Structure 1
């Protein structure tokens, strides 16, 4: 069994938290942050059982700035 660290991007939509793993493409949700992460972990593990990552799959993490107009 292999262990790898993945990223969880979490945002709130109305009354639920949505968690996304950008390296794999899995998404899940929960009533709080902890539940959303636990559900994302389970979804990612199940996905990787069927579709394992290649050994050379190295994610790239970066940031960027975007300009936008705010409305009052």
Structure 2
């Protein structure tokens, strides 16, 4: 079986309990968490593999190109 490498953007946030949550915007429902950023990153690699295999998307998947992050100010 031939393997290929795919690159994904991973968003990492810290919740109110101090847990790091890693999400892959390109794959709906692909997220995990960890006690440290390093642990969350290790786990997101596994989560990506599981998500792609479960959806059988690995042969047809084309990730979006990351453009950047923006902040917006909203008056409420």
Shorter-chain TM-score tier = 0.7 to 0.9
Deviations 1:6-50 (A, max 9, x none): 111001002200000111131100000010111111011011112
Which has the larger strand fraction?
Answer: 1
Number of residue equivalences = 69
Instruction: Report the aligned-residue RMSD.
Output: 2.0
Q: Report the secondary structure of 2:38's partner residue.
A: helix
TM-score (norm 1): 0.78
Q: How does 1:20-59 map to 2 (within 5 A)?
A: 20-25=23-28, 26-51=30-55, 52-53=57-58, 54-55=60-61, 57-59=62-64
TM-score (norm 2): 0.75
